[in-house]
Amino acid sequence: MVRRCEAAGVYMVVDATVASEAWQVVTSSLEQAVEQSEEKATLRGMSDTTARQRHLVTQMMMPVLEMFKPHDLNSYSGTALGLLTGRGRPYSADEMAHFLLSGVRVKWGESLTGDVASWATQLWASEDAQATDAPAYLYWDWHVKAVYSDYHVPRTKHGTSDRIIGARKQLMLHDRVGHLLFLHTYRGDTHLIDGMIDGTAYYEGLAESRRLTHQIFDREGLSVAHFKDLLTDEHKRQFITCLKSNQYSGLESFESCSSFEPYRYDEHGKLIREIAEASYEMKDRRKGEDALRLRAILLRRPDDETAGGERGEGAEAHLFAIITPDWDTPATEIADLYRARQSKQENAIRDWWLPLGGDVNIGYDKRQVENSELAQQKEELEARLERLERYIPGCGTRLERARRRHQRHSERYQVEWEAAQQTVYEGIQQREAKGEATLDIYHWAQAEEARLQEQLAPLWMAIEVAAEEMEQEREKQARYRTEREEKKQALTKIAQQMADHPMYELDDRKD
């Protein structure tokens, strides 16, 4: 009875799936990939259309029975998957693993990615157009897939565990209500900006896609250089994102801030959010580049006011800043668009992508690549060594200049001091010849020496400055030489680590 119920339920899902447009997209994509392959006759599970569709039905129905990897079929004892294919018994784990491998060999993944993205865009385009006349903002985000492997694979920070782990990243593009339009997999150490640039080029190259003129992404995409590229593109691209909390410290970090107005109320009618507008200048760290002025939408909690009507301490502790180059759209709409990212995009991943097995890693084939983490350390060490090789001779040159200056000033001081002493001696002899009192002569000589020392004080100061500079340059040169040896040893160690701990990039095509 249990098996009959299982089979009946799966039959209903299969009927709905086969009748859907998605099934046509998947099957036509596979047929096209197989037809273009020169080795289709030798591929397992790809011999004819019937065999391919049977394997596809099995693959698509496995998540319904809570099986996500071919390996899970080893413990499957039901009959539903077998009845669906008309074979009486389901395909084995080995057979399904080879079917996926055959799909990799005919490059099905590439055509499937493009076809599904084009189909999804067209599927939800009419709904977007009917919803509003405003430009359609699309949402970029990562989904991090943890990879537990004995091999060293590219790593990233996993949001739920708050740890740096081996991972792969899935770049997702959603529409305003959370429909997935495009997905592509990248290495775990790929930056969101690189993914968005590559994903934009790929997605806009599809026949049925749309131009990404309005984008929303989180604070990982913050980059003045990237922002300027978006705004100087042939077709100006609007974007919405938010600032990191360490990029501002209260309202004083913003200019031309308007007064705060009510924005959101709770179910009891109590004000829980206020909103204001301001401008914000993002500094460009690149030499010779100007700062970028953006519009800031500020949200804050209405903290309790003091008896004098002033806001209490910590009033800006919950200040949240959204930035955009869009100066025309009302501030509340900008805030609503960005805040919808969490409820629409994040929940879409949780509610349907993960239950379908989107977080499961199937392909573990790998190839050795350069260890990107150690390579970055090596690049930094080499750059520092290059600078040290310039600094050390520079210290030697400045030390030699200071030594010559010290010698020149010392010789001049010695000559002028001896001449002054001779002048004082001659003055004493003249006063003694005139019969002046010895005490008077002594006082005169003391005053004259003090005057001469004051007169030669700048020259003496120049000698001391040169001596101090010599000492500083000696210390710097010694410090640079010590650091150079340390960096050389570290570079040797890094090279050995790169040889002992190679990095492996996982093959994502089975996924």
In the prediction, which pLDDT does 216 show? 92
**pLDDT tens digits along 441-460:** 888 888 888 888 888 888 88
Q: Residue 179: CB partners within 8 Å, gap ≥ 6?
A: 120, 123, 124, 348
Q: Does 318 or 11 have the greater pLDDT score?
A: 318
306: confidence class by pLDDT, cuts 50, 70, 90: very low
Helix (H) or strand (E) holding 339: helix 331-340
**For residues 152 and 163, is the Cβ–Cβ distance under 8 A?**
no
Strands 320-324 and 292-300: antiparallel
Mean pLDDT, range 471-483, rounded to an integer:
93
Q: Which residue has the tokens 């994502």?
A: 508
Strands 238-242 and 214-216: parallel
**CA–CA distance from 294 to each of 239, 277, 440 (Å)?**
11, 11, 80
**For residues 395 and 441, is the Cβ–Cβ distance under 8 A?**
no
Q: Does 348 or 299 have the greater pLDDT score?
A: 299
- Cα separation, 345 vs 217, in Å, equals 11
**For residues 192 and 220, is the Cβ–Cβ distance under 8 A?**
yes
**CA–CA distance from 68 to each of 252, 362, 378, 472 (Å)?**
52, 8, 40, 67
**pLDDT tens digits along 154-175:** 888 877 777 888 888 999 998 8
The SS3 call for residue 326 is: coil
Lowest mean pLDDT among 225-229, 260-264, 353-357, 448-452: 353-357
Distance of CA 42 to the CA centre of its chain: 43
In the prediction, which pLDDT does 491 show? 92
Domains of the chain by range and CATH? 2-106 (no CATH), 110-362 (3.90.350), 374-503 (1.10.287)
**pLDDT tens digits along 383-407:** 999 999 999 999 999 999 999 999 9
In the prediction, which pLDDT does 1 show? 39
Q: By C-alpha distance, which of 85, 108, 104, 110 is closest to 30?
A: 108
- Helices H / strands E in the chain, number of each: 13, 12
Lowest mean pLDDT among 115-129, 377-391, 409-423, 465-479: 115-129
Whether the pLDDT of residue 6 is over 80: the answer is no
**pLDDT tens digits along 69-110:** 888 888 888 878 887 777 778 888 888 888 888 888 888 888
In the prediction, which pLDDT does 136 show? 80
Whether the pLDDT of residue 5 is over 60: the answer is no
- Cα separation, 260 vs 271, in Å, equals 12
In the prediction, which pLDDT does 426 show? 85
pTM listed for this prediction: 0.75
Phi, psi dihedral angles at 198 (to 5 degrees): -65, -45
Mean pLDDT, range 32-54, rounded to an integer:
79
- Cα separation, 117 vs 113, in Å, equals 6
Q: Which residue has the tokens 């520079």?
A: 394
Strands 180-187 and 271-282: unpaired
